[in-house]
Amino acid sequence: MGNQIKFSVGNTQRGYKSVEISLGDTKIEYKILRNGLNPVKKNSVAVNVDKNSSDALDSLNIFAWEKNYVGDKISGEQWSLTLQNGEKIYRGRGSNAYPDNWDDFLDWLDVLIPEMKFIDGKRVDAVEMSLSRADDEIFEDLTVNRRENLLTLEKNSSTHTYHLSIDETKNFLDVCQKYFENLEVNAAEDYIPKIFVKLQRHDGSTTDFSAPYNDFSMPDVTKFSEDIHAFASDLSAEIFSPEALHITNDAEKFILCKVQFKGNYKSYTYRAEDETFAVGEIVDVPVGRNNDVTQAKIVDIGYFDEDELPIPLDRIKTIIGRHTGNAWDNY
């Protein structure tokens, strides 16, 4: 068992967490040097330990870690560790890259010094996404677990498993956590396919929800699907398919676009029959009694049932198409 540990992790924006630990046969003394951006009292604390704690540290095999771990990002998180066991010393550091059992090491520290919270209890440690249709033509169950560093996709008649690096697992779960925690699901009919999501957090709590899997019910889901597809780019799956996420007229939704004319910040509502229109595009629209063709910029897009339309359908003009002339300067 190591006798002395000095460890620091963090960055300049969030601050660093730094501790010094002295390990004995039955007691551990530690000193908190820094805890993020919060001031700390640098008093030593002694805690009792049992053999299980000593064995857990030994099982990490820290002396076999590499000396330097360097990730692709320039900024992010940096760490340094010195472990001394008699004459044997390990000195290592990293920048946005970690040993394979890095989370096990942080778990060990959190048990020893819980007030430090080296791991955020609300961090997503596993995600499960199940995609299904009522007719069972589509069934997919995708899971990623931080402990196992595996991406598993179970389909109707096959199972695919990908071994991820620690960084790939971290990035995948970070993408999921950022998207799902900021997601506001739009009220909608129970269209298919439907996705069921379960997030397992580090503190043992879970978050579950379900929603129609399309870009009306789940805004920005197309970008999200592209991000997660990057982790298994050769895998064919509906859960990754942007084409499957757009609501079309087959779903009996009316597509309404708010547009603005050049030099006028008031918005006007037009109907669209092209599901591929995007916010920011310049389109040709009919204006006035004579339906003169004028260019306008799409500033918002919404999907509505007929009884939800803000204007009677017979009073809504339809976008002619994308503007194919010269782009407007300084629109």
pLDDT at res. 278: 81
pTM over 0.75: no
pLDDT band, very low/low/confident/very high, at 249 (cuts 50, 70, 90): very low
pLDDT average, residue stretch 206-215:
86
| Arithmetic mean of pLDDT over the chain | 84
- Domain ranges (residues) in the chain: 4-116, 124-247, 250-322
Q: Which of 304, 299, 253, 255 is nearest to 276 (CA)?
A: 255
Q: Is the pLDDT of residue 214 over 70?
A: yes
Contact between 210 and 198 (Cβ < 8 Å): no
The 8-class DSSP code of residue 38 comes to B
pLDDT at res. 136: 58
pLDDT at res. 250: 46
Q: Amino acid identity of 248?
A: T
pLDDT band, very low/low/confident/very high, at 252 (cuts 50, 70, 90): low
Q: Is the pLDDT of residue 122 over 60?
A: yes
Report the distance separating Cα 222 and Cα 235, nearest Å. 17
> By mean pLDDT, which of 143-152, 245-254, 288-297, 312-321 is the weakest?
245-254
Q: Is the pLDDT of residue 246 over 60?
A: no
pLDDT at res. 49: 67
Q: Which of 257, 237, 324, 326 is nearest to 297 (CA)?
A: 257
pLDDT in tens, 165-197: 877 888 889 999 999 988 888 866 666 778 899
pLDDT in tens, 263-314: 888 899 999 988 778 888 899 999 998 999 999 999 888 878 788 888 888 8
Report the distance separating Cα 123 and Cα 270, nearest Å. 43
What tokens appear for 169 in the block?
């697992």
pLDDT at res. 158: 79
What tokens appear for 73 in the block?
């990002």
For residues 250 and 82, the model is more confident at 82
For residues 95 and 185, the model is more confident at 95
Q: Is the pLDDT of residue 251 over 70?
A: no
Q: Which of 316, 323, 326, 324 is nearest to 298 (CA)?
A: 323
pLDDT average, residue stretch 113-135:
86
pLDDT in tens, 32-85: 988 888 777 777 787 776 667 777 888 899 999 999 999 877 678 899 999 998
Distances (CA, A) of 236 to 169, 181, 205, 207, 321: 20, 26, 32, 27, 32
pLDDT at res. 327: 59
pLDDT band, very low/low/confident/very high, at 113 (cuts 50, 70, 90): confident
